[in-house]
Structure 1
Amino acid sequence: MLPDPRMVAMSNPLPHAPASAVQRDEVDDALQQVEHQLSLLWRRARSISHQLSRQVHPDMEPAAYGLLTIIRREGPIRLTDLASCVGVGKPSVSRQIAFLESLGLVYKEADPQDGRAQSIRLTDKGEEKMHQVQDARRQAFRERLGTWPLEDVQTLAEYMERLNAVYGEGLIKEAPARDDTAKDPGDAAQ
């Protein structure tokens, strides 16, 4: 007689599933540490981004600095593509680009592939400012990670790439909605 497939499925844990409550607790503890460290890194990165944007111009917001880094990395880029890169709407990016234009850091030109569209480029001034700031940023990385063995820096980069790939797959799922319709706190327990 063949075994019941449901019983076989229940007796074979998933490949990466913890085998015991102790292991689940250890995984939860490790994930909590990852969450804490990412939160700390996020706050520090925001602070650094704020400092870097102010080095480009005293009135610049970090979001505008982020757009400059993308424009510098990607080269001429259409507004819709730029908005897609940062995951915000065109109106928000358009306002930031207008601000960057007013500072003389970017300009728009006719898109060579579609004359109706425009591409955004760094001006010479924008390129020079970004070069200076990114050199300073790279030096800061050297100061902080320069004592690490090269293999550790490479491993960190690989893990960060994996993490970014996982988070690039989608947004965090929303928590289930709470049922706040109970009139009496005791009703919710029933």
Structure 2
Amino acid sequence: MEAVKGPDGGAFDRAIEVLEEQTSVLWRRERTTSHALAKNVHPDMEPAAYGILTLLQREGSLRATDIAASIGVGKPSVSRQLAGLERLGLVIRQLDPYDARSQRVLLTALGEQQLSVAQSGRRIAFTALMRTWKPEDVENLGALIARLNTAYTKDTW
């Protein structure tokens, strides 16, 4: 892969190095947090399934192919995760009212409840972690992370 130089050379390149390092640390910590959150939802839930639950919470019912596309993994991986979530009673599949050939996945009442409890704990932890930050700094960080996430949808590698 050819190195790409930033618009002003050195300063931008150094900033990208820091960004790469710090996002790597953040993602490792987030992986650890996701493991703990998954166990808070259900002790037998796989950590990777937590993202599926939050996606369903945000989007409502989705087809497995839409879930796979949204989180960037293959349909077989999503199917395996969904089967586990079904066994735990956290999601159900229903016939798609617009396409009888497919099914839509949605959270059960138990799934909604357990996910809400886990997220509440996460909010409490974030609040404790960032209580000394100015509200505008927290808002700016959220906006910048959202901007980074939007850029990631443009698969550049």
Q: TM-score, normalised by structure 1?
A: 0.76
Q: 2 CA distance for matches of 1:42 and 1:171?
A: 19
Matched, 1:114 2:99: yes
Q: 1 CA distance for matches of 2:99 and 2:11?
A: 55
Q: State the 1:75 CA deviation.
A: 0.7
Q: State the 1:46 CA deviation.
A: 0.5
Q: 2 CA distance for matches of 1:93 and 1:17?
A: 39
Matched, 1:72 2:57: yes
* Deviation per residue, 1:23-71 (Å, 9 max, x gap): x233222221111111110110000001101111222222111111111
Per the alignment, residue 7 of structure 2 pairs with: 17
Matched, 1:38 2:28: no
Return the match for 1:103 from 88, 93, 103: 88
Return the match for 2:72 from 82, 87, 106: 87
Return the match for 2:32 from 32, 41, 47: 47
Per the alignment, residue 131 of structure 2 pairs with: 146
Opposite residue 165 of structure 1, the aligned amino acid is T
Higher Cα radius of gyration: 1
Where relative contact order (Cα < 8 A, 6+ residues apart) is larger, the structure is: 2
Q: TM-score, normalised by structure 2?
A: 0.91
Sequence identity (%): 49
Q: 1 CA distance for matches of 2:139 and 2:90?
A: 33
Q: What is the number of equivalent residue pairs in this alignment?
A: 152
Q: 2 CA distance for matches of 1:137 and 1:71?
A: 18
* Deviation per residue, 1:81-110 (Å, 9 max, x gap): 111111111111011101111111111111
Task: Specify the SS of the correspondent of 1:52.
Answer: helix
**Larger deviation: 28-37 or 74-83?**
28-37
Task: Specify the SS of the correspondent of 2:101.
Answer: coil
Task: Specify the SS of the correspondent of 1:36.
Answer: helix
Q: 1 CA distance for matches of 2:52 and 2:156?
A: 21
Task: Specify the SS of the correspondent of 1:115.
Answer: strand
Structure 1 runs of 4+ aligned residues shifted over 4 Å read none
